[in-house]
Each structure stands twice: as C-alpha cells, then as structure tokens.
Structure 1
C-alpha cells in the first residue's frame, strides 16, 4: 500500500496548489485514493478493507503527507474514522454503510463533544463541532457527544444529510483539508450507529482496533509529522543545491552546514522514537495484548516530540529559504501547514506535561483517559 501511495505522488503534488485554492482536495486526487485502495486501508478485512498494521499505516500516511500535507491529513482522518466505524459499530449500521461500491468516507470531531439524549432504540444528537477535516469529501460524520444522565462519552455516526455545514475554514495552513465547522440539531441516531469513545475490543477486525480510537488517532498524526518533516528538509536540500556555486549562497556557509546537520539529526532522532514506539506497540497487539500505561505514555510522547521537532525544522527551513520561503510555493505552504498541524490538541503542552509526570514516577496507579492521567 505504501508503494501505491508513492505512485500517486506526481498527481498529488501537481494538484496541491489547486486543492489549496479551492479549500478541498481535487476530484482527481480523491478518485485516485479510492482506486489505490487507500480509502479502505483502515477498514476491517471482513468488510473488504485493507486492515493494515500500525506500521503499515504509519508508512502510508507518511508517504501521502510527504507529497502534500493536506492530502495526508484528509486521508488519515477520513480513513481512521471509517475504520473505527467498521470495527466498532453494530451489524445493522455496518451492513448499510459499507454496502456500496466505494469505501465510505467519514469526517467529524472527537475532542469537543455535543450532547445526546437516550431514546427508545437510539439517541437524539445535538451539538456544534469545529474542525471537521475532510467533511467536504465525506458521506458520514463521526462525532463525539456526552450522553445526558450517564455522562458517558460516545461516538455517533450520522449521514452528512443530517448535518448543517457552517464553513468557517479561513486559516493559515492545511487549507485544502476543508476542516469546516458543522452542527447537528436533534438528529435521531439508532443504537447500532454509535459506540463508546473508549472501546478497545472490536466487533470485527483484529489487533489494530485494540488500540482504541484515540491511540489510532495518535498514530495518524505521527505519520503526518514524519512525512511533512522529511519533505521540509528535502525541499531545503533542493533549494540550496540549485544555488550552489553562486557568491554568498548558503551552500558555502559553515553556519548553514552546522544548522542543517543539527536539524537532520533532531528529525532523525524524533523519527526513530516514533518508529521504536510503534514497533513495540505492534508487538504487544500481535501477541493479543493491550498497551500498558507506559506504552500509552510513549505513544503520546513520540507524537509530541516529532511534532515539536518538525515545527523547529520548519522555522529553520523558513529562515534558510530566503525570499523563496516568503513567496507562494511549496516551501511557504509547508511552513504554513506545519504550524496549522502542530496546533492540534493531541500535540499540546498539557499532554507533554502529563507524559513527564508519568515517566518521572509521579503518577502511581494512574492510567490514561484520553489525553490526561487519572487515578
């Protein structure tokens, strides 16, 4: 699957500018992602999906994100969510959702909840959510809400016809993700179209889905950071090399050589932590287990570290790129996309502080609940 993603690079790169201008991926790119099987890479095998392993998913997302940050972002979110739906929803919902000739795409929000009221046979869902990445390409939404009376967080799947698209995507970077706000006003969601947010045993599919939804999202964002970080450095290599031999250029600067060496080393070290962490996690899953508290900590730490490292890389590339980095083009777009992506809640400073607390042995008897430690 990673090779199929690599084969799409010329198309994705060629249409990235148009995608940014229109605020969504081009139809050609979306069709190509479907035809390559990438839109089903997260879906359980019994439903005809690829059900890739964590390391395989990491490689595909990295490859797509290297080609274009927004394409990688949309692909990882829409496939994470259709995979979760396939793994965790009830049989009636799955039979309806996955019956078409194409894999359905999902978009939504799992961090800022709406509200749900229990009714006979299901729930009544209401709320407003921000940052519905990929919504303009989706057939279904996958939204977090808190059940009134019980306080349980659950994910609710609704067809896009049940939502109101609110727009509000005027941003610095990741413009082609179309991460619009949306609202749902009293839609009925049948029981089979909902599942607990913290579900670690799938209804169908194998080891991947024992990660639960949040850790799968952390895997997504780690792959994205790997791809855009490597692309930043490679773009700078090309920029500097094209100007080598001219008087006063960076290619002849010892200060630049030193800075680039440090940037390369920092990125490779952060990437190594991501790969080591997910190698270990995959071994646990393949043996039939679940991640323990320390492994959950390292999954969060690896994402936080690669994200902050890539942000530093972006600043170095922007400072080194001269007027090329200021003008509209791939380097400027990468710089903007990185800073939009690093604002995601999963990579925030509060998560890093919690990682430090657990690693320092200051949270005995605690476990991860979403992005925080609780007794």
Structure 2
C-alpha cells in the first residue's frame, strides 16, 4: 500500500454533457452579456450536469477530472461562450481546492448540500488576516473576483499578520460587500465584481496555506497546487475561445463566397488564414503536450520539476498571446460585421479581457526564457517568479 495520492480519471461523460449544453449556452449568451452574469438556466444546467463538480474531489461527490480531461471540458464550454467557460473554470477550480485542502470541519459544513457549491474570489492583491483564538479576523478589498455573482463561497488570499504567511481564506458570500462596479470591456457576463470583507472571523479549518500542494482528500491532481491549477484553467479557456474565433471566420468568409471583392476570393486572405490557423494549432499542441506530460508525472506518483513548471507557464503565455493575434486577425478580416455588436466583436473583447490576467503577463514569459536558457541554476518557481 502507498500513501501517495493517485491520479483520478473520470472518463468522457462530462465532456459529452458540456457538448450537449452548447445550444443552451449559445442561446443565453446575449442575455448574459446584457445582465452582466450568466443566466439562471445556464447556471442550473452546469449544476445539473455535474460540471460544477468537475474539479471537486471524488470523495466529496465531485468528478475530480484529470488535467487533460479538465482541459477538454473547459475548452468545450469556452467555445460555446467565453464568459460561461470563464465562470465554470474559476468557480469549480476553487471548489476543488477548497475540497482538497480545507480542514475536516469546514468541508463537512460546506460540502454537505445536495449540490457542490460554487466558489469565487481573488488570489492576488492580498488582504490581511489577524490571528485570533480558533482562527483569523479577515479584512481586505479585492479586484476582479471572478464569478462572484454566481458563488456561494469566496476564496480569498490574505497575509497573516505577524508571520507574513500567505493563506487562502474561505467565507460564505454573505460575509462579502459587493462593490457593484462590473463596468468592463470584455467578459461582461462573468459577474467578476470587486468586493470587500471587513473584520470577518474565519475559522482555522476554513483556511489553508496558499502554497499547499498535498491534498487532505482527493488524488494527485491536487499536488499541482492552486497556482498550477489556475494555469490549467486559463489554458483550456484560451483553447476554446481561439478555436471559436477561427471557426467564426470560416463561417463569415463562406457566407460571402461568390460575391465580388469578398474575402473568399482573396489570395492574401487565404495565406493569412493559413498562417493564423497554423500558429493557433502549434500553440494548442504545446498546451496539450505540456499537460499530457504533466499528467504522466502525476499518474506515476511524481511532482512537477522546475522545467515542467516552466512549461506550464510558457504554454499558457504562448496560447494566450497567440489567441490575441488570432482575435486581431479575425476582427480585422471581419470588416463591418466585426465592428457591429455580435459574436466576433464579443469574442474580440473577451480575449483582450482574458489576456490581461496576471498569469499571462510579460514578467512570466521573461522568467520562462531565463530558465529555458539555463540562466537560473538552483532556482525554483515561487508563484510566478523564479527564486533561489
């Protein structure tokens, strides 16, 4: 017998359910965009299909998908609608982390309902946690709390006063003051508003170290830790949105075939489309290859080494920047159709909102290059930077 967490694989059932939900998600996307949050039918369908439990540990009733299974489901949802994919990946990644890392008392309270709850919050710009008997007093203000309007619990980064330790703190959404300022260019339907928490008691069991990567329940996927889990989520999102952009361009050009002066008859467009398709497929292949390699390591009982940590960061950075290029090509080629309110315009806005996330920033790319070039001997990844 071994105590090493085993990698759980759930199969393709959730991916098939995600595909079945595409017509509903697409029908509801315009309404969600207008109201600034996913519609009730979509949220209900994500729960009823089991997708809301795709990250949650199997012992708690979740699907606990493997990395490559998660990539596929997140890609499918994001293809249907960028905001739906974003909300699903964030709220479920965080309920997975909570289920794997929180103490037994907290898990018994939080996961006792008939459905697995959704979590939202922020893992950057930390608040402050003051140690008190039995837990902490949490105070802070966080920006861009992804999926906040859809969540039952929040998952917040704070620094423990006196020790400087970064920890994650889980609170019911009722403890949160919603700041109501979701006035963004893209990903409008995610409801990712700023929020504040003021001097709220959080029991010890509802917290865990930010760097925790050994699960208290569930299998080897939770050895990735919250940062790498987030990188996987954002990679799947970029795959889905990038593919949808290119497929929309195919539909746009095909609908105008045979008309004088249209894209379908332009050799320059044909060549540019071929180059753009090749760039996207190459970036997508890097993502799939990287996470396949990661899954093999986790499945064999291992942990990611420094080079693998570099590659999961590089793969996300590369697919994100590539999808930004794809979006600009599609938007420019779309002419006045893209200029008007519609799917191409929305995808363009959503991509540029998503690429602003800190996990895809230029500092991460520079650190990846330094490690790959052999210029970081003895250094390891600490969040998004290399340290000795």
Cα distance in 2, alignment partners of residues 253 and 318 from structure 1: 17
What secondary structure sits across from 1:124 in the alignment? strand
What secondary structure sits across from 1:107 in the alignment? strand
Q: Which 5+ residue runs of structure 2 have no aligned equivalent? A: 1-13
Query: Where do 1:1-80 residues align within 5 Å?
Result: 1-80=14-93
| C-alpha RMSD of the superposition | 0.4
Query: Where do 1:25-174 residues align within 5 Å?
Result: 25-174=38-187
Cα distance in 1, alignment partners of residues 184 and 174 from structure 2: 26
1:45 positional shift: 0.3
Q: With the length of structure 1 as denominator, give the TM-score of the two structures.
A: 1.00
**1:247-284: CA deviation from partner (whole Å, max 9, x where unpaired):** 00000100000000000000000000000000000000
Cα distance in 2, alignment partners of residues 139 and 26 from structure 1: 16
Q: Do structure 1's residue 360 and structure 2's residue 373 form an aligned pair?
A: yes
Cα distance in 1, alignment partners of residues 162 and 49 from structure 2: 45
Of stretches 251-260 and 161-170 in structure 1, the one that deviates more from structure 2 is 161-170
Cα distance in 2, alignment partners of residues 11 and 98 from structure 1: 28
Q: With the length of structure 2 as denominator, give the TM-score of the two structures.
A: 0.96
**1:6-35: CA deviation from partner (whole Å, max 9, x where unpaired):** 000000001000000000000000000001
> What count of residue pairs does the alignment treat as equivalent?
375
Which of 212, 237, 246 pairs up with 1:199? 212
Which of 336, 342, 359 pairs up with 2:349? 336
Q: Which 5+ residue runs of structure 1 have no aligned equivalent? A: none
1:213 positional shift: 0.5
**1:185-242: CA deviation from partner (whole Å, max 9, x where unpaired):** 0000000000000011000000110000000000000000000000000000000000
1:169 positional shift: 1.2
Cα distance in 2, alignment partners of residues 167 and 307 from structure 1: 28
1:374 positional shift: 0.6
What secondary structure sits across from 1:132 in the alignment? coil
Cα distance in 2, alignment partners of residues 358 and 226 from structure 1: 25
Which of 200, 204, 207 pairs up with 1:187? 200
Q: Which residue of 2 aligns with 1:288?
A: 301
Cα distance in 1, alignment partners of residues 130 and 374 from structure 2: 40
1:102 positional shift: 1.3
What secondary structure sits across from 2:185 in the alignment? coil
**1:23-58: CA deviation from partner (whole Å, max 9, x where unpaired):** 000000000000110000100000000000000000
**1:119-158: CA deviation from partner (whole Å, max 9, x where unpaired):** 1110110000011111111110000000011110000000
Cα distance in 2, alignment partners of residues 3 and 327 from structure 1: 33
Runs of 4+ in 1 over 6 A off after TM superposition: none
Of stretches 263-272 and 131-140 in structure 1, the one that deviates more from structure 2 is 131-140
1:4 positional shift: 0.5
